[in-house]
Amino acid sequence: ESRTPQTPRRADRPTSTRTPPRPGGGVLSAARRATLGVRPVTQSSVAAVAGSRLPGGCTNGRKWSAAQWIENSASVDVDVPVEEAWALWDDRTLIPNWMPWVDSVKIEEDNPKMSRWTLKTTQFGRDWTLSWLAQNLAPIPLQKIHWRSVPGSMSVGIEVANRGSIRFFRRSPKSCNVTLTISYEVPDALAPFANALQPLVESVIGGDMKRFQKIAAERS
């Protein structure tokens, strides 16, 4: 008696062992952050990063293998002619008057296009000092002043490239708008941390611009 050949049975496929996605792909709620042990970002956290070395080290003059620029801006209307606002920012040594987190800006005697910026803060019971050289880039008179850090000039182990610009917009013969933009380069691994700091940084430079607004009006 002939029999119909049976189709060989297929081996059972192994059960998937794919690891579920880790949390953190979006903004976490406060409760979820607490559950995961995520600490809130503070000004102390900024100082800790600025004054420490990352595993593997990135010493002065070395570039991160993968990095991106983070940008923060603040803008104010100032009741002084654009010429007066320009003159205040053009004198770099005056900047600490309205940016108190900048301890000093000193022009290099042998090269007026270079300036030494120094930041000082007290965190974790100790004093922190961070300084670097900045190169003044070609200005656009009464419109833009800008600068960038000089590679290899940072005073700590982490090389954080940064740049800044001030833009001026004439509103009337006796008033203008001034916009400050500060940008800094961070490794991709720290980008989420830097992005989380943006509200804090923009709050700080927003306060700086309000102080500038007041100082400019008083000096006019």
Amino acid in the structure at residue 208: D
Q: Taking the model in full, what pTM does it have?
A: 0.66
DSSP state of 140: B
- Parallel, antiparallel or unpaired: strands 111-123 and 102-108: antiparallel
Q: Closest by alpha carbon to 24, among 33, 34, 16, 12?
A: 33
Find where tokens 């991160």 sit. 64
pLDDT of residue 158: 60
At 171-194, the pLDDT tens digits run 999 999 999 999 988 777 777 877
Task: Count how many Cα atoms sit within 13 Å of the Cα of residue 114 in the half-sphere of its side chain.
Answer: 10
pLDDT of residue 193: 77
What gap in Å lies between CA 24 and CA 26, rounded to an integer? 5
Domain at 67-99+134-219: CATH architecture: 2-Layer Sandwich (3.30)
CB 90 within 8 A of CB 112: no
Residue 103 clears pLDDT 80, i.e. is over it: yes
Polymer length of the chain: 220
pLDDT of residue 58: 43
At 47-80, the pLDDT tens digits run 333 333 333 334 444 444 457 888 999 999 999 9
DSSP state of 9: P
Strand partners, 129: 120
At 110-168, the pLDDT tens digits run 999 999 999 887 767 888 788 899 999 999 999 999 999 998 776 665 667 889 999 99
pLDDT (average), residues 29-44: 39
